[in-house]
């Protein structure tokens, strides 16, 4: 993508992003639309392990990460909050 953007003379105009599926305790899997998908294994682990896995996306050039969490419950958000705090 970076090469194509540079060829168009728009270097720096587009940020790389990543959409990441994180499955935490109690998660049972998610479906997109009307059909199940298998787009790879979800990220799993402790806040520290999640932070390490999310850092890999940043190291690869992602400026923004969109997290799809399973299950969507307060405990999951607390765990993700701890992971994000470790990234700062």
pLDDT in tens, the chain (88 residues): 778 888 888 887 888 899 999 999 999 886 655 555 666 789 999 999 999 999 999 999 899 999 999 999 999 999 999 999 999 8
For residue 69, give the 3-state DSSP assignment.
strand
- Could you give the CA distance from residue 75 to residue 79 in angstroms, rounded to a whole number? 6
Domain range annotation of the chain: 15-87
Residue 69 bridge partners (DSSP): 22
Nearest to 21 by CA among 11, 33, 30, 9: 30
CA 79 remoteness from chain centre: 14
Q: Which pLDDT tens digit goes with each residue over 7-30?
A: 888 887 888 899 999 999 999 886
- What pTM did the predictor assign? 0.78
Peptide bond into 71 cis (omega under 30): yes
């Amino acid at each position: 993508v970076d090469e194509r953007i540079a060829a168009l003379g728009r270097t720096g105009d587009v940020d790389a992003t990543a959409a990441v599926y994180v499955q935490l305790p109690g998660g049972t899997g998610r479906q997109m639309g009307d059909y199940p998908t298998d787009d790879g294994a979800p990220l799993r682990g402790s806040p520290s392990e999640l932070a390490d896995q999310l850092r890999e996306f940043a190291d690869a050039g992602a400026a923004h990460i969109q997290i799809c969490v399973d299950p969507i419950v307060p405990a999951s958000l607390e765990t993700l909050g701890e992971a994000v705090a470790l990234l700062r």
